[in-house]
Structure 1
Amino acid sequence: MNTGEPPLPVAIVAGLHTDARRSAVEEILRTVPGSVALHHDLSGATDRSVRRTVRDATGPLDSGEAPLTNDCACCALRADLVPELLRLAAGGGHRLAVVELWDSVEPQAMAELIAAEGAPLALTGVATAIDPAGVVPYLANADDLAEAGLAAAPTDQRTVADTFARQLEYPTLIAVADDTACDEPADDGDLALLAQLTPGARRVRLGRGALGPALLGGFDVEAAAVRQHPACALLPQDSDEHGVSTLVWRRERPFHPGRLHAALEDLTCAAARSRGRFWLADRPDTLLSWDAAGGALCVESAGPWLAALPDAAWEMVPAERRVAASLDWHPVHGDRRQHLTFTSPGLDRENLLALLDSCLLTDAEYALGPAGWKHLSHAFDDLLDTVA
């Protein structure tokens, strides 16, 4: 219902680094008059409920419990979040509502949930708070969230590393904890790694009062989703600074499925974080996504390449993807190409380049063309759970 009142600005602060996240929220409450923070604590979900608290700079204002839904704490959060925000909006008097997400909750789903509600809510910012000295340890942590006591549902199979990577790469703001608030001071390498992993985000130092105003600037969930889509993701740029490197590997030829499959373990462990898109010779119409962190790799189909679609279907594709494809259009392959990025301290660029290039089709294999490529090994069938 539109009462004519301006919508309530809502900002999200996420992060597995609990102390940094709490520091970020406390700073916002201190520096943005009229702000309140809403937090759902999922750690007590074993007691069949999720505890909700609302506070401002002076302390707690309200508390309550949201019943568990299908034994899923995150489902309870989703069901309770928007009604609580609407209650705050109806009460009036708040300049900003800060949604402090629990440790392993990823910001994208919550941002899209809030944005879909529309008035009287207005999503104005999304930030992830981090301790820069913890970036390498968290990206290297292959533990399941359940093992770390951070699972949001019984079926939660995410790892600490891949959850942390997505928390880093989705928002437009990274709230960086001050050294005085961290267990260990960050060095130049930590900051270089953070900068290379988050090329499209503004990094805001906590303790300077800048985070709150930055979160009022606005947030476009559709643009954010495009930035995450494998076909046009905003990937890191080639860099080498303070012992941290990002290798951007781009090629036009398809991978030999058998040789790439045999090299997966070495490629996955070659960097703290690797991302991108690629194509296989035996699946020339399928855009495949590459997502690796903590020594674990996820390879999935992201739908067809644009070159595999009929012309009439192009109008259904986001304009950003069409523009991205046109910039690299190949006269034969269209938008099909390899585009992988590897970011890590101590990256062995030379050997990584050699290994990646060795997985491409040779001249003789390439000359067989698509008809011949169909007879190559279908090594990824089990991994992709499809029939070639």
Structure 2
Amino acid sequence: MRRLAEAGRFDYLVIEGTGIAEPLPIAATFSFRDGENRSLSDVARLDTMVTVVDAVNLTRDYGSRDFLSDRGETAGEEDERTLVDLLVDQIEFADVIVLNKVGDATPGQRESARTIVKALNPTARLIETHFCRVEPEAILDTGLFDEEEAARHPLWYKELFGRADHVPETEEYGITSFVYRARRPFHPEKFSAFLARTWPGLIRAKGHFWLATRPDWVGEMSLAGAICRTEAVGFWWAAVPRAQWPHHESWKGLIARHWHRVWGDRRQELVFIGASLDEATIRAALDECLVGSPDALRFNPADFAGLADPFPTWRRAMAA
């Protein structure tokens, strides 16, 4: 790219990643500096991230449990991504989404595809077309890419962390979202059963949680299509000796803002996004997963140590 830019022969360069490429690493390449402090951003500006979506097959693929290896498409032997993982990565990170093959799609397929796309990325420009006929100015030199915004772009982030400038998706696509918050822990067996259920209209869910049997751990839940994953992503400050807490005032303020006299900073925060979601039913089901008294004066982990816990073992390396 440096050589092409320095030649002065070209105004614009279009990079077409492979069908299984993740857009974030491509974007990060522009910010990376090598040992000689050189960066692509010195000679080129990343302008727009474009994703093309198949209107005919998106609904089917989004509900698939297939791994990329099942489709004969992987980045190597250690590539354990599912098809849904790839779809979410590519759609959530795009500035422009081209919904292609709309002429071949049924009205139901088109509407379903629009709903999925808008649920995952409501702020991207959506272009509907056939045979990928798109005006060049719609995808070239748009100035849409913003590195800082890209890092927090998905709707689940905006909902979960309360972006002040985020306006919920319009009713045009029938998409709604809500955040479930609670302080008490989840019963592991009941929460596992909740995650195994099918919730009509649910397109995306993500957030962090804590289990009564694992009070030290921050768990992360990510659901897209038919795939739901949970893993450990760190430890609650309540489980860390105070001598090891950060001394920076902004960190102290963040901890204090989320602190509860009984539960510390432990909390449930899960965002749900979908079409025609039954919010009341989902909230009630999650409330049923909570254990412990709302009026508890102290938290004793030993009180919950005997609860059935079907989640896989979490190890320190998982949270590194």
TM-score, normalised on structure 2?
Answer: 0.73
Equivalent pair of 1:276/1:290 in contact (CA under 8 Å): yes
1:127-276 equivalent positions in 2, closer than 5 A: 127-132=50-55, 134-171=57-94, 173-177=95-99, 183-184=105-106, 187-188=110-111, 190-199=113-122, 201-205=123-127, 207-208=134-135, 209-214=137-142, 216-220=143-147, 224-225=150-151, 233-235=157-159, 244-266=175-197, 271-276=202-207
Structure 2 gap segments, 5+ residues each: 34-38, 129-133, 161-167
Query: What's the CA shift string for 1:219-272, capped at 9, x where partnerless?
Result: 31x5534557xxx93347588765554343222222122321233311688833
TM-fit CA distance, 1:288: 1.7
SS at match of 1:369: coil
TM-fit CA distance, 1:370: 3.6
Equivalent pair of 2:185/2:211 in contact (CA under 8 Å): yes
Q: Is 1:300 aligned to 2:231, yes or no?
A: yes
Equivalent pair of 1:259/1:359 in contact (CA under 8 Å): yes
Equivalent pair of 1:162/1:292 in contact (CA under 8 Å): no
Equivalent pair of 2:212/2:305 in contact (CA under 8 Å): no
* Pair 178,268 (structure 1): closer, same or farther in 2 beyond 3 Å: closer
TM-fit CA distance, 1:111: 1.7
Structure 1 gap segments, 5+ residues each: 1-84
CA distance in 1, matches of 2:199, 2:313: 15
CA distance in 1, matches of 2:68, 2:297: 46
SS at match of 1:277: strand
CA distance in 1, matches of 2:218, 2:149: 20
Give the structure 2 partner of residue 108 of structure 1: 24
Q: Is 1:337 aligned to 2:267, yes or no?
A: yes
**How many residues end up aligned between the 2 structures?**
294
Quick check: 141-150 or 247-256, which moved more?
247-256
One-letter code of the match for 1:219? D
CA distance in 1, matches of 2:248, 2:5: 36
The CA RMSD measured in Å over matched residues stands at 3.9
TM-fit CA distance, 1:158: 1.2
One-letter code of the match for 2:21? V
* Pair 380,126 (structure 1): closer, same or farther in 2 beyond 3 Å: farther
Equivalent pair of 2:52/2:97 in contact (CA under 8 Å): yes
SS at match of 2:68: coil
Give the structure 2 partner of residue 98 of structure 1: 14
Query: What's the CA shift string for 1:97-139, capped at 9, x where partnerless?
Result: 2221111111112222332142234433323232456443232
TM-fit CA distance, 1:368: 6.0
TM-score, normalised on structure 1?
Answer: 0.62
Q: Which has the higher strand share?
A: 1
SS at match of 2:88: helix
CA distance in 1, matches of 2:14, 2:283: 44
One-letter code of the match for 1:114? F
Equivalent pair of 1:239/1:246 in contact (CA under 8 Å): no
* Pair 147,286 (structure 1): closer, same or farther in 2 beyond 3 Å: same
CA distance in 2, matches of 1:249, 1:125: 33
One-letter code of the match for 1:191? R
SS at match of 1:96: coil
